[in-house]
Amino acid sequence: MSAPVIVEATVKQTATLIFMHGLGDTGHGWSSALAAIRPPFMKVICPTAPTQPVSLNAGFRMPSWFDLKTLDIGGPEDEPGIQAARDSVHGMIQKEVSAGIPANRIVLGGFSQGGALALYSALTYDQPLAGVVALSCWLPLHKQFPDAKVNSDDVPIFQAHGDYDPVVPYKFGQLSASLLKSFMKNVTFKTYSGLSHSSSDDEMDDVKNFITLSLLFSITGHNQ
């Protein structure tokens, strides 16, 4: 895997955002947008997925966190690939924890396939995180939940989806959110009217507010 794009904190670092891009993108795709909204004490890590063949794109090789076989909600999924990608995300979290940033000061996020990975990685991580930002995405291996969940029920999740998304259908986002709400206590699902498979200024403002609030809560609501 190529080295992640890192935006260092501009004051003493006390928090980290690890954000995964969508299919075919790289860590550079999101780094400047995230740098513009993160608090000054937060380091941003934007890894680039390994380049591998993607079934959905006729086996064409591109940056992809795991293989996508179909975008049907009940279709087959690349379970070994999803779990391997999750292990790599858990390794990134662990590296930050070893460097002195507590898990409850780490936000996981992602867009599309990266958002799917962020959700799955957060729910299967064994320490409470500050929060999860899940944009235009779905919960992978959803039939395994809530049994597969090992994290706290209280981890805040901000899920956002455009209702004109031609790539990851809005309905998938809704279905994932209602499943998450059945076993997680702090799930927000926000709809962006007219938004396709992309982000918007409104959405980024909401992400900024969510990150600020979840880090505030990590100081007052959890033991440091």
Q: What digits encode the pLDDT tens for the residues 200-221?
A: 999 999 999 999 999 987 665 4
| Whether residue 64 lies in the annotated active site | no
Structural domain includes residue 224: no
Shortest CA distance to 4 belongs to which of 34, 47, 42? 47
Q: How far apart are CA 31 and CA 148, in angstroms?
A: 31
The answer as to whether 223 is a domain residue is: no
Q: Which of 88, 197, 199, 222 is catalytic?
A: 197
The verdict on residue 61 lying in a domain is yes
Residue 59 lies in a domain: yes
User: What domain count does the chain have?
Assistant: 1
Closest CA to 14 of 101, 127, 132: 101
Residue 109 sits in which domain range? 5-218
Name the pTM for this structure. 0.95
We report the CATH number of the domain holding residue 171 as 3.40.50.1820
161 catalytic per annotation? no
Ranking 43-57, 66-80, 143-157 by mean pLDDT, the lowest is 66-80
d(CA 52, CA 63) in angstroms, rounded, equals 6
| Cβ burial, residue 182 (10 Å; 0-12/13-18/19+) | exposed
Active site residue 126: no
Q: Which of 64, 112, 136, 218 is catalytic?
A: 112
- The reply to whether 96 falls in a domain is yes
Q: Kindly compute the dihedral angle of the four CA atoms of residues 169, 198, 4, 82, in this order, to the nearest 10 degrees.
A: 0
